[in-house]
Structure 1
Amino acid sequence: MGNFFRIETVDAEGPLPGTAPLAALRAGALHAVLLRHVYPAQAMAEAVQKLDANAPGFVRSDFPAAFKAFFYGLNLNLAAPDLAPYFAAEPAFRAALAGLLRPDAETRITGLLQALDDGRRYCAAPGPHPGARYFFTTLRGHGTGGFIPPHFDNESALRPSYRHLAGLIDPGIFSFVLAFSRADAGGALEFFNLRAEDHAARFRNVDGPSPPPSVEGVEKVAIRLAPGDMVVLNSGGYLHRVTPVEGPQTRWTACSFMAPSLSGDRVLCWG
């Protein structure tokens, strides 16, 4: 790992630490927390078979075409400002996700995050109307050549689709990535020693085919998660990207954005 990069590793199958590494991450003392064995590798292999065929019947949406990737679920960053279709699709996605893994992904993930953050509650962000809620996560499939360009997640709150959510959250966004499968090669999550407060404007909203600014020579670390492992990282405050996937194996992940609520009593999650 790079000299700048501070990470704590936790075995999710063993006793959890008495410290609160996610509180340390939010305070800037850590860049990432790696959770090993959130799910057994065999459970993820069985889930990948279902995902490849979309056996659960997830609603599908797409990254910009240049990225050669897609979502199961609707991603808030790419949603239209009128979020009625987004909220209408959430209950069916939630039900399909609940049947994909045992224990179900939302229960397993929020339980671990809460335990690593001094008991602070983690939950899907509430929507603007009674009973509505944001997608807890989305599932991402990156095919051959699929990638995500360098970006800071804090820029997301500037998008029109965040008009309601931005009024609920602290601006310090972080995220988790849970690996279902690993690409044959490539598909690494690269984390750069570039802070949003100094460089965000140069990388803002690089969603299309135009090349982003060069990151050649910038200090970085590369993370390739094993199936069943999960990383939580300060993706709002630091530049990061996904390198192009090589080979026919789809890179399947679940990814969520998170931020403390303005009330300070919980952390809100969304896909």
Structure 2
Amino acid sequence: MEKKELKIKSKIIHQYTLPFGVHGCLALSNDMCVILGVKSGELGKFILLNSGSVEVLDYEVPPMDKCGFNYRGALFKTDVGFGCVFDYELVEFDLRKRTFKTTRVKDSLPRDEADRKTGPYRAAVQVSKKEYLVTLQDNSHYFKTKYFCTLKKNMWGACYEPFVYTMKRTTHISAVDCHATYANGRLLFHRCELFGLDSHISEFCEILNGREDVIASVSKGIGRFTSDEQHLLIRTYSKPYVLEFYSLEGVKLFTIPLTPKRVIGNIEKRFLEFFDKYDSTIWMGRDSYVTQTRFETS
């Protein structure tokens, strides 16, 4: 007997217009989210959204090489706040103390197979007090987060360990969107590989003993693991553009249509790239807009 999909009720709680463009989104709670914001020609900022308020935090995102702003950073959640890995700096913010702590990444960024620079992108996870799993962007924008790497802190700074895993692609000319997490001792990732205008594969995977194990084939789209470590969200590539919720075992649980009045607000759903979820709240960002939506299942 076919299992009926859960019915979803949703309501937009807040819609934010920010002074910066959104290039990262991390949900810290139902009421709080941090945005990595950048503006062309200026250094970026962390923007804290809290129950309708907007606070630009007093920290200047370090620039990339030959670039006046930094769109490339790997956000992660901590027990006391959040952090982000940049090309040569690890920064962590304590929400209670309202203080930043920075650690210099003392060695060079890892190089790809063609001996080009990589860089932290999209996601990092604090595995232990002094160890972080970081996804790295290939030098080419067409192949995102191809590498998974460990960043370790010590008394002198932070340094990269050898690649944990290098994701393989199945075609010679393709673009891949990938997102990874470390949840309950498991290294999980989703990747969607494109060839031309068509989606080739969309897979939910786990790395076991250095090998890639496909847990499930999922809908083709952009995937993001939620900061509450409960779900994989997929924003589908094809119309009508929905958010699909998967368990960490790869089972599709329910779908939320990205309707303007009840879910996504004034964000163009076709181009939604930055989103996260904590408990019953979804945070979605695009350009200078962020929408906060509550939902419940029945």
- Structure number with the higher strand fraction is 2
Please say which structure displays the higher CA radius of gyration: 2
Instruction: Specify which structure has the higher proportion of helix.
Output: 1
Give the TM-score normalised by the residue count of structure 2: 0.24
Q: Normalising by structure 1, what TM-score?
A: 0.26
More relative contact order, 1 or 2 (CA 8 Å, 6+ apart): 1
